[in-house]
């Protein structure tokens, strides 16, 4: 799926520690990795929250002037410092020239989304005509399903993973209901094996081979929101299309996190939000991908003014000249202030590559995994020892930034104690705490400090039992 580093994270840590004459858990290893990190300056492009500004903080436990340990980019990315300047540019344009802002400036309001779409090319591995920046994720998912899900008496099912993000399942259920289909018979859900938390690719492919003739659409996450598992997108796509299915992906937790090659993999359609790893702010402008092979063949089921070619849009003759490609799925004009915040982040991504970010991410998350396992791996000989279990796959090619952790002590107590100490992460039912060091703005020393804060939080949670 992607080229892996020649050296796995644990091997790198041991090598660096040997060169420094210390143990891999020593602080010197983290500081050295930060010194050698060619992407370390990217942190300066973002606002890092201070301890004193976090609502749940206990100031008696922290230095109020220090930066928080922000490991929640998988839920909401940090604010790029250029966001305010980009917003101010459009506010000033509006104030000074009113409607003329539709046609002038770096981001003319009529084509604001189109002016930044090419900045997504490397991030999702697509050409510009395959990408549309519009709406919110679930709205885009509905628009895509309306075009790609065309059930027949023999081919009427949608395949998805168990415990998909709720919004995806709700969208699928409503699409099935829209076609008058029975949800239980038409929604095919694949679960992990008994006693396992994540999915085996061979099991997914087996279901596709067995049920494929009755499946119209396969819709999987790129990265599962809870477990952090990165699915084998090219393998699922190839298997599904071999059985005549359309294959699409919700890339909310994959975009800006892992390398994607949607065009080369032949993915039929995909959608994503932009407020997680793309750092575009809460409710940011989402995106959609439609492979160019479908241009002129699979058309949007719902259209509007902005589905029409710009060259004839203002002729007002009410004769739709549909834009070929993903932009034909747009319905309304772009929300320029959402364009601004996304633009600010994409300009940062432009300064590097997803390959470089992924390389750092593998080592950064690998370092976090190594430290957790070193201190908190389950010891069968010591049944009373505190332990932390990582349910995210251990193979680097099967995960992104995120690790999902479970604990031998009450999880809500652990979460509260982490919050008091300035660790920004989140808790997800049924029993996971998600931590995601992001290569754009997190450091190796952040991971080192997190491990120390985790020890303190676990000790406190243990005392409360």
Q: What is the pLDDT of residues 127-184, one digit of tens each?
A: 999 999 999 999 999 999 999 999 999 999 999 999 999 999 999 999 999 999 999 9
pLDDT in the model for residue 281 = 98
Mean pLDDT of 323-336: 97
| 269-272 and 287-290 beta bridge pairing | antiparallel
> Per-residue pLDDT for 2 more than 70?
no
pLDDT in the model for residue 378 = 78
Nearest residue to 161 via CA among 213, 86, 219: 219
Mean pLDDT check: name the lowest of 45-49, 99-103, 228-232, 428-432.
428-432
Q: Report residue 1's pLDDT band, with 50, 70 and 90 as the boundaries.
A: low
pLDDT in the model for residue 381 = 62
| DSSP label of 79 | P
Model pTM score: 0.96
| Contact call for residues 433 and 425 (beta carbons, < 8 A) | yes
| 432-435 and 403-407 beta bridge pairing | antiparallel
More confident residue, 463 or 445: 445
Q: ∠ CA(431), CA(357), CA(66), 5° rounding?
A: 65
More confident residue, 271 or 6: 271
Nearest residue to 73 via CA among 250, 237, 243, 273: 273
Q: Report residue 379's pLDDT band, with 50, 70 and 90 as the boundaries.
A: confident
Q: How far apart are the C-alpha atoms of 87 and 336, rounded to whole Å?
A: 9
pLDDT in the model for residue 464 = 82
Express each pLDDT in 383-395 by its tens digit.
Answer: 667 899 999 999 9
Look up tokens 């793309």; give the residue: 278
């Amino acid at each position: 799926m992607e080229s892996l580093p020649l050296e796995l994270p644990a091997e790198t840590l041991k090598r660096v520690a040997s060169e420094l004459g210390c143990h891999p858990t020593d602080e010197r290893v983290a500081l050295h990795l930060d010194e050698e990190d060619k992407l370390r300056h990217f942190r300066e492009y973002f606002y890092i929250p201070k301890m004193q500004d976090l609502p749940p903080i206990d100031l008696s436990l922290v230095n109020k002037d220090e930066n928080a340990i922000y490991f929640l980019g998988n839920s909401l990315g940090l604010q790029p410092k250029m966001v305010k300047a980009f917003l101010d540019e459009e506010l000033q344009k509006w104030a000074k020239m009113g409607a003329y802002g539709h046609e002038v400036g770096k981001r003319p309001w009529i084509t604001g989304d189109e002016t930044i779409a090419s900045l997504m090319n490397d991030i999702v591995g697509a050409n510009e005509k395959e990408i549309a920046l519009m709406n919110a994720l679930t709205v885009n998912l509905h628009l895509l399903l309306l075009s790609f899900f065309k059930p027949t008496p023999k081919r009427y099912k949608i395949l998805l993973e168990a415990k998909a993000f709720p919004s995806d399942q709700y969208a699928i259920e409503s699409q099935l209901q829209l076609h008058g289909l029975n949800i239980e018979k038409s929604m095919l859900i694949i679960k992990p094996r008994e006693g396992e938390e994540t999915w085996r690719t061979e099991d997914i492919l087996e279901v596709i081979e067995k049920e494929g003739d009755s499946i119209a659409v396969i819709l999987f996450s790129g990265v599962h929101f809870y477990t952090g598992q990165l699915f084998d997108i090219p393998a699922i796509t190839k298997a599904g299309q071999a059985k005549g299915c359309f294959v699409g992906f919700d890339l909310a937790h994959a975009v800006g996190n892992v390398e994607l090659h949607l065009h080369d993999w032949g993915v039929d359609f995909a959608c994503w939000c932009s407020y997680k790893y793309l750092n575009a702010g809460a409710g940011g402008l989402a995106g959609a991908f439609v492979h160019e092979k479908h241009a002129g063949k699979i058309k949007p089921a719902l259209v509007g003014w902005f589905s029409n070619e710009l060259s004839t849009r203002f002729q007002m003759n009410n004769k739709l000249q549909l834009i070929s490609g993903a932009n034909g799925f747009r319905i309304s004009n772009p929300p320029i202030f959402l364009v601004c915040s996304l633009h600010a982040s994409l300009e940062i991504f432009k300064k590097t590559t997803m390959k470089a970010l992924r390389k750092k991410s593998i080592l950064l998350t690998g370092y976090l995994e190594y430290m957790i396992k070193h201190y908190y791996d389950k010891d069968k000989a010591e049944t009373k020892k505190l332990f932390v279990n990582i349910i995210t796959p251990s193979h680097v090619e099967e995960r992104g930034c995120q690790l999902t952790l479970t604990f031998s002590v009450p999880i809500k107590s652990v979460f509260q104690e982490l919050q008091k100490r300035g660790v920004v992460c989140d808790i997800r039912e049924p029993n996971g705490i998600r931590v995601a060091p992001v290569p754009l703005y997190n450091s190796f020393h952040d991971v080192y400090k997190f491990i120390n804060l985790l020890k303190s939080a676990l000790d406190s949670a243990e005392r409360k039992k």
